[in-house]
Structure 1
Amino acid sequence: MISNNKTMRLKIFQKRLLELEIKAAVLILSRDIFYYTGTAQPCILVVTQNDYFLIVRRALDFVLNETWIDNSKILKNGSFKEILLKLIELGINKGHLGLELDVIPAELFLKIMSIFSGFKPVNISEEIMIQRMKKDQEEIDLIRAACNIMKAGQQRVLEVLSEGMTELELAAEVEYAHRKAGHEGILSMRNFDFYISRGPLSSGENLFKVSGFSNTITGIGLSPAVPAGPSLRKIKSGDIIVVDIPTCYQGYHSDETRTYVLGKACAEVTDLFKALRDISDNVMAYLRDGIKCSELFGIACSCARRLGVEDYFLGLAPRKGNFIGHGIGLDANEPPILFEKSDFVLRSNFTITIEIHLTHPEHGAVKLEDMVLIKENGCEILSVTEREMFLV
């Protein structure tokens, strides 16, 4: 049985601080604070090897209603200088200080270190993300709910897709269906300066145009200001349409891609998707606790080679992709990333995507992305939308 004791999250984190000889960690990112405390209100979470406290900057009434931590650990207001004084009271006045160095603004970092001058900063984000990879039962249930919301959007494509509508109009229909089904309307990404629309949607010749955001199907967007996502291109009969618009439910994401054809698919596109489905199925047949990311990538490559689609696998040269999936949870893209050269070992209760596309230089691109829960001796597909290419 997967534990649901959320208070254990801080205890596990404290154990790692002790093992790494980190005296204290100061967390400011809302996703991390939410993971450990249950609130995303403006707060600072301070964790030592033996204690913790939550500084509430605003909305104390919300925090008291939302959090599962002991109310005696909640402090109203407080500055970084006051945090330092609190640590000194606990006998901590020097040593390693854990900070989320991958996301903390430079100006704030300099301010913190001018106050904590006796400490040496270390990046604690990797430890947080490793802990967040393994999901408890409640997290898995929330991700399942996000997957159910996802299906409402995919179903909407079948209902409204028609010749002459723009990519933007189709995306709006999908997003509206998601929202009505309970999608919170955000797409959280732990990346500096990462901006995109609500998610990629691309069709026709746009499938060959890959923006610099990622080596996958991105769409071209509405302008150079946001060069990814749906465009004003009008969809035509015979077009392939790839829909990859994530959902979020109570903070947890689903990321799923389905491929559609308006009208009849030519034999080459049908065969291309069949090969894609075979590659995805092959990868999932080997997916289980203990397998390395690089091993899965190698399995996908070998299958593509055997099926004669190696040149189309993950796009066309020189813009071929280098991953076949990623972790997912409180962020839409989380570690682990299923890179070609990553020896990271996947474990039970990780939620990941298996995300693969094939691009033919003449006939376009097809993509299949599924939500998957890793188990001890296999995996469970969490996506509820049929894993087919839909003809509309």
Structure 2
Amino acid sequence: MQINKNFNDNLLTPKAELQKRIEKLQLELRQYDLDGALIIQSTDLVYFTGTYQNAHLYIPVEGRPIIMVRRNIDRMKTDSKLDVPIIPFKSMSEIIHFIKQHNLPLPKRLGLEMDVLPVSSFLRYQKIFLDTEFFDCTHIIRKLRAIKSSFEISRIKETSKMMDKIFRSLFEIIRPGLSEFDLVGEIESVARREGHQGLIRVRGFNAEFYFGQLLTGVNSAITSYFDGPINGVGLYPEVPFGPGGKIIQRNEPILFDYVGAKSGYITDMTRTFVIGSIDSKLDKSYQVAKEIQQAIIQEAKPGLPAKMLYDLAYKIAKKYNLIDHFMGAPYPVSFIGHGIGLELNELPVLAKGIEEPLQEGMVFAIEPKFVFPGIAGVGLENTFILNKSGLEKLSSFPDDKIINI
């Protein structure tokens, strides 16, 4: 039966791109003496198949992978260009059968994504793979995904172009008298028309994330559960994060921290706006944030330990006596940036004590921010690609000063 195509070919991840990713994983599996990896996490499935359906992807250390799909096999066949067997299955107990059926040896050492795998699923795998030793292959996959291909970089650049358009729309949208939440609704309408996919993928347990933070005045200095410098009050105690019902006023910071996502790929961007004028202390802090960003641009290069960029930012904040406000207060975070791609929180982490060297092809957001409890938060954020010669900034939207609406 002929299956109708859902998308134009230019929206699908090319077959050669998917094959290259799998070959790189197979090479890593050999290095760790693994016989295969069983992939179930949504973003990893997108990375290796080009789409997400409820499925198990088994990648042997040698030979062709197999995709076992619980729902929806038709969508997997039309939306993925990966040339491998795609099999319907109903029960996890069938996995062994399908591995044997495709003449693949049963794994003695099997990689699983243990950072996100539910315990209940892990216990099921233990009962299914009776003679198999399990290995956490999360770090292998995340390190592979940290280095972006030219295809991925082109997708990320398209997302960044979308973000520039969204931020330019703010000049017509921001006005006094609106609540934060009402204003975010208007902005999200623009974002969806520009192609924002809505869904933001974040790796981890209890990792829900609201992708649009527009916080004004004191609300931008309210802390909560989220492991980042800026949180916001939220609308309800059940979701204490992001914009709330505060009315936008003149002469106070309007901090817009927005995650763009298009064709799967994410960029992160923050600017600080004001209607009228702003306190000199906050303005000075923004200029320090700009100085931190510029210093990182000058310093970052392949081979540099990730911690060096955090240490550099900390040193500059200390020089201006802003340490008590640097990257959140009263609960600061110990990073200055984070990797970005299919997920918001990818490698590398530009954090205190992280020795891993930066590599060409990494994409990360740099977000110097300062928080003054009871007053406001200010800062900026841009997404960068690390090339052989240094950092390439993606956004063309201005960031040299707090923007007056």
State the TM bucket, normalised to the shorter chain.
over 0.9
Establish whether residue 339 from structure 1 lines up as the match of residue 351 from structure 2.
yes
Determine the structure 2 residue equivalent to 1:32: 44
Contact 2:36 / 2:107 at 8 angstroms: preserved in 1? no
Determine the structure 2 residue equivalent to 1:378: 390
Task: Identify which of 58, 63, 70 aligns with 2:71.
Answer: 58
Question: What code does the residue aligned with 2:250 have?
Answer: S
Question: What code does the residue aligned with 1:250 have?
Answer: S
SS across alignment from 2:126:
helix
Deviation at 1:153, TM superposition (A): 2.4
Contact 1:7 / 1:68 at 8 angstroms: preserved in 2? no
Aligned mates of 2:178, 2:104 — CA distance in 1:
65
Contact 1:268 / 1:363 at 8 angstroms: preserved in 2? no
Contact 1:157 / 1:173 at 8 angstroms: preserved in 2? no
**Equivalences, count:** 388
Determine the structure 2 residue equivalent to 1:80: 92
Determine the structure 1 residue equivalent to 2:3: none
Contact 2:218 / 2:374 at 8 angstroms: preserved in 1? no
Deviation at 1:14, TM superposition (A): 0.7
Contact 2:202 / 2:209 at 8 angstroms: preserved in 1? no
Aligned mates of 2:90, 2:239 — CA distance in 1:
38
Paired residues for 1:133-144 under 5 Å: 133-144=146-157
Determine the structure 1 residue equivalent to 2:10: none
TM-score, with length taken from structure 1: 0.94
Aligned mates of 1:20, 1:196 — CA distance in 2:
33
Contact 2:200 / 2:209 at 8 angstroms: preserved in 1? no
1:111-168 Cα shifts (integer Å, max 9, x gaps): 1211112112211111111100011111111111111121232222221211111110
Task: Identify which of 338, 343, 363 aligns with 1:326.
Answer: 338
Task: Identify which of 131, 144, 159 aligns with 1:118.
Answer: 131
Aligned mates of 1:78, 1:25 — CA distance in 2:
20
Determine the structure 1 residue equivalent to 2:197: 184
Determine the structure 1 residue equivalent to 2:110: 97
Deviation at 1:169, TM superposition (A): 1.1
Cα pair distance change 1:28/1:94, threshold 3 Å:
closer
Task: Identify which of 347, 368, 377 aligns with 2:380.
Answer: 368
SS across alignment from 1:335:
strand
Determine the structure 2 residue equivalent to 1:11: 23
Question: What code does the residue aligned with 1:312 have?
Answer: H
Deviation at 1:56, TM superposition (A): 2.3
SS across alignment from 2:123:
helix
Determine the structure 2 residue equivalent to 1:350: 362
Aligned mates of 1:106, 1:240 — CA distance in 2:
44
Contact 1:156 / 1:173 at 8 angstroms: preserved in 2? no
SS across alignment from 1:227:
coil
- Higher mean C-alpha deviation, range 335-344 or range 189-198: 189-198
Contact 1:133 / 1:335 at 8 angstroms: preserved in 2? yes
1:36-83 Cα shifts (integer Å, max 9, x gaps): 111212221001111211112233332222222214x22233643332
Contact 2:179 / 2:248 at 8 angstroms: preserved in 1? yes
Question: What code does the residue aligned with 1:353 have?
Answer: A
- Higher mean C-alpha deviation, range 190-199 or range 172-181: 190-199
Deviation at 1:91, TM superposition (A): 5.8
Aligned mates of 1:355, 1:184 — CA distance in 2:
23
1:296-330 Cα shifts (integer Å, max 9, x gaps): 111111222233433322133x4122100100001
Question: What code does the residue aligned with 2:70 have?
Answer: R
SS across alignment from 2:139:
helix
- Higher mean C-alpha deviation, range 100-109 or range 300-309: 300-309
Aligned mates of 1:385, 1:91 — CA distance in 2:
52
Determine the structure 2 residue equivalent to 1:253: 266
Aligned mates of 2:183, 2:248 — CA distance in 1:
9
Give the superposed CA RMSD: 1.9
Task: Identify which of 294, 315, 331 aligns with 1:281.
Answer: 294
Establish whether residue 244 from structure 1 lines up as the match of residue 257 from structure 2.
yes
Displacement over 6 Å in runs of 4+: none
Establish whether residue 315 from structure 1 lines up as the match of residue 328 from structure 2.
yes
Contact 1:149 / 1:181 at 8 angstroms: preserved in 2? yes
